[in-house]
Amino acid sequence: MGWFKKITKYFSKTEIVLWCSSVVLIVLSFCIFDRENYLTLVASLIGVTSLIYNAKGNPFGQLLMVIFSLLYGIISFTFAYYGEMITYLGMTMPMAAFALISWLRNPYQGNKAEVKVNTISRAETWLMWFLTAIITVLFYYILAFFDTANLLPSTLSVTTSFVAVYLTFRRSPYFALAYATNDIVLIVLWVLASIYDMKYISVVVCFAAFLINDIYGFISWRKIKIRQSQGC
């Protein structure tokens, strides 16, 4: 039971309740609406676990995000959401790997389980938005070429995903808000998919759980930033 004590000591009561509630919600939605696609269930559980570690600034969360991105890319391919597939396999997954390296190379006071929070400059922020605009236009035409389902929300998902992975790599607290925005886009995207197949409601529930966790992640990182600035 030593591992259980370590977990309850490392995570706050709020984080434990949040994770357990998310897991229950995801499993219930799978049992009600899907019952077949276990890959979706596994991906959802890995994803929500990665978010709770990310909220702590723990690099292990980025390792789980690499695995989630691979699985989600496969799931997206099955519904012809090529934008999601390309985004997660070609951008989110490799960027999560780079973020993992970045977080490991920038520990707070030598603690490998907590990354040092960074603040990006105004100039870099403008650069990020410039790159985002280029990525958005480029992917719009790429996705249109592949006749991607629900083109506009798929393109917007690419936009929000790029901002999220960039800010994650740069260790900015705002990465969690960017992912929360991406969650909203994905909720819309999979609601549209569930019109044709009810089993995709389980994916909608998954991203609703992600949304709550990402909002908490932003709040947590703001607190971590304040604590680190005080040298605690």
The residue with greater pLDDT, 199 or 218, is 218
d(CA 149, CA 176): 27
Average pLDDT over residues 52-78: 93
Closest listed residue to residue 220, CA positions, set 4, 66, 14:
14
Task: With respect to residue 5, please indicate whether it lies within any of the assigned structural domains.
Answer: no
Task: With respect to residue 13, please indicate whether it lies within any of the assigned structural domains.
Answer: no
Task: With respect to residue 27, please indicate whether it lies within any of the assigned structural domains.
Answer: yes
Task: With respect to residue 194, please indicate whether it lies within any of the assigned structural domains.
Answer: yes
Cα–Cα–Cα angle for 113, 115, 119, rounded to 5 degrees:
165
- Give Cα 69 to chain centroid, integer Å: 9
Closest listed residue to residue 84, CA positions, set 172, 188, 177:
188
Average pLDDT over residues 133-144: 91
Task: With respect to residue 151, please indicate whether it lies within any of the assigned structural domains.
Answer: yes
| Number of domains the chain is built from | 1
* Structural domain range at position 70: 18-105+124-229
Instruction: Supply 201's token pair.
Output: 């409601």
Task: With respect to residue 55, please indicate whether it lies within any of the assigned structural domains.
Answer: yes
d(CA 91, CA 83): 11
When mean pLDDT is compared across 1-10, 50-59, 212-221, the lowest value belongs to: 1-10
Closest listed residue to residue 84, CA positions, set 96, 69, 64, 97:
69
pLDDT of residue 1: 62
Task: With respect to residue 11, please indicate whether it lies within any of the assigned structural domains.
Answer: no
Q: For the beta carbon of residue 89, count every other beta carbon within 10 angstroms.
A: 17
Q: 45: part of which helix (H) or strand (E)?
A: helix 38-55
Task: With respect to residue 111, please indicate whether it lies within any of the assigned structural domains.
Answer: no
DSSP strand E in 70-190: where?
A: 107-108, 111-115
Q: What is the tens place of the pLDDT at every residue in 204-213?
A: 999 999 999 9
Structural Rg of the chain based on CA atoms: 18
pLDDT of residue 195: 87
